[in-house]
């Protein structure tokens, strides 16, 4: 690939930092095209989900709740408790492996199509900017002007709307933490009813605003850990937005009267359209770069140029560096197939882990420090403590019975056990066994946990008695 580069200067610095260290502000041209339209649809679906999900309830519970403060978690309508933390850890490990494998094959598709940073930036904030300040050229002119009335009202309006959107977004995000009902109730009481929460929302909204009004592509280039990892995750076989230098080079100005092949020119007419639309300010013709978020704006832009110059589309396209170097079409090869199968396997593992979660967690232990008692001349008794975590959505009346050995009796202490949803219930009980039922000094026993007469769990324990000689 190097043979086509007359200079490698672009490798010396990040595209948005000038040689004197100053930020180079990017004014990308408004993209349009087939892929941009698809991305609009994907963004609309994701934004609808983000703003709609807090209103969805399942049996009175939010669809998603991530209440770290009160340790209440509901994911896709399924309540989770701190006791399920191992599931979270396992899922996270599987998820990280998933991300690594996904990136090795499909590059930064996530960044361009699904990342909230890109969606909010390109489909909300940037669109408002085009609406208020005009095209990229008009924006640049406006910034170059000294302050005047036109600049003042446009900038004020833009930044006010930006901040309001940040405020709404963070308030919405709060609904994922404490629930939409609590947010609405809090707002109805007025913003001074909870000064701490109000201050937190205002401050986080300021950070959100700064990210989208000022930092922008710097988040993807410098701050985002996933972006920083790209250098080690991508290889020559990864699918990325690529410029087909074999076809495009040598570049040359377009002349409708000229046959480019005969003139020794490649398909790139050096129009710069791909550079103008790039939100990270790079020239994809220099090859894969860490700044590229695979937003596909340059693909759309170049395709429209190819159409206008009667050349085949796809000079910039999704391709691997190897497929371009070897001049072969991107194939669904064994490597992609293998990695995709592993990815599906990981998704299956995560789903399996979630289905294995029980809705009731019961622990029965002999009370610490207790020994057996002689209940009457024919029976011994042991005292047990029972702990039940009710992970269901309903309150559960519980009773304990003995399954093995037959003939034993469970005598509960205290009130009948009723455990509210999401609560941990505790009780003590006696197990009375006939002396003849003891098989050793540690007789295995099995309890059945019932709710409304229906068996919902079984727990094994041991019954301590005297050894055979003392019985």
Residue closer to ligand SF4 (CB basis): 82 or 272: 272
Residue of 201, 241, 290, 398 interacting with ligand SF4 (CB under 6 A): 241
Taking alpha carbons only, the member of 243, 236, 221, 233 closest to residue 290 is: 221
**C-beta closer to ligand SF4: residue 14 or 282:** 282
Comparison of 74 and 302: residue with beta carbon closer to ligand SF4: 302
Which one, 54 or 279, has the nearer CB to ligand SF4? 279
3-class DSSP assignment, residue 92: helix
In the chain, what is the greatest distance between 2 CA atoms, to the nearest angstrom?
114
CA 71/CA 391 separation, integer angstroms: 13
Residue nearer to ligand SF4 on the CB measure, 294 or 451 = 294
What is the SS3 assignment for 366-416?
Answer: ECCCCCCEEEECCEEEEEEEEEEEECCCCCEEEEEEEEECCCCEEEECCCC
Q: Which stretch binds ligand SF4 (CB under 6 A): 266-274, 343-351, 422-430, 456-464?
A: 266-274
- Shortest distance, position 303 Cβ to ligand SF4, whole Å: 8
Q: Which member of 94, 201, 282, 386 binds ligand SF4 (CB under 6 A)? A: 282
Query: Where do we find the tokens 């309001």?
Result: 164
- Which residue from 105, 201, 211, 293 is in contact with ligand SF4, where contact means CB under 6 A? 293
* 292 lies in the binding site for ligand SF4 (CB under 6 A): yes
- 285 contributes a contact to ligand SF4 by CB under 6 A: yes
Q: Can residue 14 be called a binding residue for ligand SF4 (CB under 6 A)?
A: no
| Span near ligand SF4 by CB under 6 A; candidates 131-139, 161-169, 199-207, 289-297 | 289-297
Nearer to ligand SF4, 284 or 438 (CB): 284
Sheet holding 442-451, edge to edge: 417-419, 396-404, 442-451, 454-464
41 class by beta-carbon count within 10 Å (0-12 exposed, 13-18 middle, 19+ buried): exposed
The residue among 84 and 122 lying less far from ligand SF4, judged by its C-beta, is 122
Segment lying near ligand SF4 (by CB under 6 A), choices 38-46, 278-286, 415-423, 442-450? 278-286
273 binds ligand SF4 (CB under 6 A): yes
DSSP state of 213: I
Backbone angles phi, psi at 153, to 5 degrees: -70, -35
Nearer to ligand SF4, 229 or 395 (CB): 229
Question: With binding defined as CB under 6 A, does residue 315 bind ligand SF4?
Answer: yes
Choose which of 174, 183, 239, 302 interacts with ligand SF4 (CB under 6 A).
302
What would you report as the CA-atom Rg of the chain, rounded to the nearest whole angstrom? 32
Residue 15 in contact with ligand SF4, rule: CB under 6 A: no
Q: In the complex with ligand SF4, which residue's Cβ is closer, 74 or 275?
A: 275
258: Cβ–Cβ under 8 A, 6 or more apart, which residues?
265
Task: For strands 379-390 and 373-376, give the pairing.
Answer: antiparallel
Measure the CA–CA gap between 137 and 461, rounded to whole angstroms: 76
Number of neighbours of residue 81 by Cβ within 10 angstroms: 17
Return d(Cα 353, Cα 95) in angstroms, integer.
12
CB of 253 to ligand SF4, least distance (A): 10
Is 284 a binding residue for ligand SF4 by CB under 6 A? The answer is yes
How far does the chain reach from its first CA to its final CA, in angstroms? 88
Choose the stretch contacting ligand SF4; rule: CB under 6 A; options: 67-75, 115-123, 296-304, 382-390. 296-304
Query: Among residues 292 and 432, whose Cβ is nearest to ligand SF4?
Result: 292
Task: Please say which residue, 298 or 445, places its beta carbon nearer to ligand SF4.
Answer: 298
| Residue 278 found at the interface with ligand SF4 (CB under 6 A) | yes
E strand or H helix that includes residue 196? helix 195-210
Q: Closer to ligand SF4 by CB, 208 or 285: give it.
A: 285
- Residues with Cβ < 8 Å from 329, sequence gap 6 or more? 323
**Residue 427 within binding range of ligand SF4, rule CB under 6 A:** no
Check binding of 78 to ligand SF4 (CB under 6 A).
Answer: no
* Contact pick of 295, 324, 396, 432 for ligand SF4 (by CB under 6 A): 295
Note whether 166 and 212 are within 8 A (CB): yes
DSSP 8-class letter at 215: I
* Residue from 181, 270, 361, 423 in contact with ligand SF4 (CB under 6 A): 270
Q: Are 119 and 46 in contact (CB under 8 A)?
A: yes
Footprint of ligand SF4 on residues 135-174 (CB under 6 A)? Answer: none
CA distances from 141 to 109, 134, 135, 156, 280 (A): 33, 10, 10, 17, 19
Residues near ligand SF4 (CB under 6 A), total: 29
Q: What residues numbered 352-411 form the site for ligand SF4, per CB under 6 A?
A: none
The answer to whether residue 298 forms part of the interface with ligand SF4 (CB under 6 A) is: yes
Taken in order 88, 90, 93, 98, the sign of the CA dihedral is: negative
* Strands lying side by side in the sheet with 72-75: 65-67, 72-75, 78-80
Among 17, 167, 206, 271, binds ligand SF4 (CB under 6 A): 271
* Contacts to ligand SF4 by CB under 6 A: 241, 243, 248, 268-274, 277-280, 282, 284-285, 292-298, 301-302, 305, 315-316
């Amino acid at each position: 690939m190097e043979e086509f580069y007359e200079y490698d200067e672009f490798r010396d610095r990040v595209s948005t930092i000038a040689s004197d260290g100053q930020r180079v502000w990017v004014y990308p041209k408004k993209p349009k095209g087939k892929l941009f339209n698809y991305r609009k649809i994907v963004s609309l679906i994701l934004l609808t989900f983000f703003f709609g999900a807090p209103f969805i309830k399942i049996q009175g519970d939010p669809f998603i709740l991530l209440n770290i403060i009160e340790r209440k978690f509901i994911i896709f309508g399924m309540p989770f408790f701190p006791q399920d933390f191992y599931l979270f850890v396992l899922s996270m490990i599987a998820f990280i492996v998933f991300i690594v494998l996904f990136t090795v094959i499909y590059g930064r598709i996530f960044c361009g199509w699904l990342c909230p940073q890109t969606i909010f930036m390109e489909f909300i904030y940037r669109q408002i900017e085009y609406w208020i300040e005009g095209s990229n050229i008009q924006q640049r002119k406006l910034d170059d002007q000294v302050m005047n009335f036109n600049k003042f009202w446009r900038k004020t309006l833009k930044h006010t709307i930006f901040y309001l959107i940040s405020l709404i977004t963070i308030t919405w995000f709060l609904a994922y933490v404490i629930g939409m009902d609590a947010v609405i109730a809090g707002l109805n009481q007025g913003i001074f009813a909870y000064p701490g929460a109000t201050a937190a929302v205002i401050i986080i909204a300021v950070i959100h605003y700064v990210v989208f009004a000022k930092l922008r592509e710097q988040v993807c280039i410098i701050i985002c850990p996933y972006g920083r990892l790209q250098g080690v995750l991508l290889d020559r076989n990864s699918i990325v937005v690529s410029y087909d230098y074999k076809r495009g080079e040598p570049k040359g100005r377009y002349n409708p009267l000229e046959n480019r092949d005969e003139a020794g020119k490649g398909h790139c007419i050096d129009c710069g359209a791909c550079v103008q639309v790039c939100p990270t300010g790079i020239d994809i013709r220099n090859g894969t770069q860490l700044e590229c978020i695979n937003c596909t704006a340059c693909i759309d832009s170049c395709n429209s140029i190819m159409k206008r110059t009667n050349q085949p589309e796809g000079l910039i396209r999704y391709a691997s560096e190897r497929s371009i170097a070897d001049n072969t079409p991107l194939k669904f090869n064994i490597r992609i197939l293998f990695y995709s199968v592993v990815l599906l396997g990981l998704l299956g593992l995560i789903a399996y882990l979630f289905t294995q979660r029980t809705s009731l967690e019961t622990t029965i232990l002999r009370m610490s420090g207790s020994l057996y008692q002689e209940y009457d001349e024919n029976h011994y008794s042991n005292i047990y403590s029972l702990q039940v975590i009710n992970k269901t959505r309903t309150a559960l009346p519980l009773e304990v019975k003995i399954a093995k050995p037959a003939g034993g009796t469970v005598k509960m202490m205290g009130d009948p056990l009723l455990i509210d949803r999401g609560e941990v219930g505790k009780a003590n009980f006696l197990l009375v066994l006939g002396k003849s039922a003891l098989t050793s000094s540690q007789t295995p026993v099995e309890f059945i946990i019932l709710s409304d007469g229906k068996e919902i769990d079984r727990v094994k324990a041991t019954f301590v008695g005297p050894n055979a000689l003392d019985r």
